[in-house]
Structure 1
Amino acid sequence: MSDLTADLQSAYEAAGYDVSDVTTNRDLVRIVLAEDAGAEAVRSIVTETLDEEPRFGVDVATEAVDGQDGVSTVVSFRDR
């Protein structure tokens, strides 16, 4: 896990969120939270954790994740 993904996972866990997964694919960073969370709250954690603004902003969506019950919150952005 890179420093970026480790820092983000730590920041979300420190804020009380249950992080299911943090991945990167090329320049796309994706954080899956085990619960449905408010968009502004989870978006602000990304901007507070990063030294620079994400390249294309932060997207927050809720979705059903394979193998899990209920809805998860997915935070994603393109890294510089």
Structure 2
Amino acid sequence: MDEITTEMRDAIESEGYEVDDVTTNRDKLRISIRDPEASGEVLRELTYETLAEEDVLGFNVTTESTASGEINTVVSFRYRG
């Protein structure tokens, strides 16, 4: 799973987004991006370009408020690769 988290971080940062955190829990990947206006469509395309679409389950994009009051975009999905 470490290889996948690195690939996803690199892909997202190559589009100019700043990744705040990448975490995994079993087969679920969660990526926090320091941009409340990050495009869900762009993030989905990046994910499917980086990982096989059929291995990405339950792709979700949402926003969250951090303890410091910032708003981040969060991508999460299960990976069955």
Q: Structure 2 length as normaliser, TM-score?
A: 0.86
Q: CA 1:42–1:55 in structure 2 vs 1: closer, same or farther (change >3 Å)?
A: closer
Q: How far, CA to CA, are the matches of 1:38 and 1:18 in structure 2? A: 13
**What is the match of residue 39 of structure 1?**
40
Percent of aligned pairs with the same amino acid = 44
Instruction: Write the mapping of 1:63-74 to structure 2, written as runs, cut at 5 A.
Output: 63-66=64-67, 68-74=68-74
Q: Which has the higher strand share?
A: 2
Unaligned runs of 5+ in 1: none
Instruction: Tell me the matched-pair count.
Output: 79
Let me know the Cα RMSD of the aligned residues: 1.6
The one-letter code matched in structure 2 to 1:58 is: F
Unaligned runs of 5+ in 2: none
SS at match of 1:21: strand
Q: How far, CA to CA, are the matches of 1:65 and 1:79 in structure 2? A: 25
In the alignment, structure 1 residue 18 sits paired with structure 2 residue 14: no
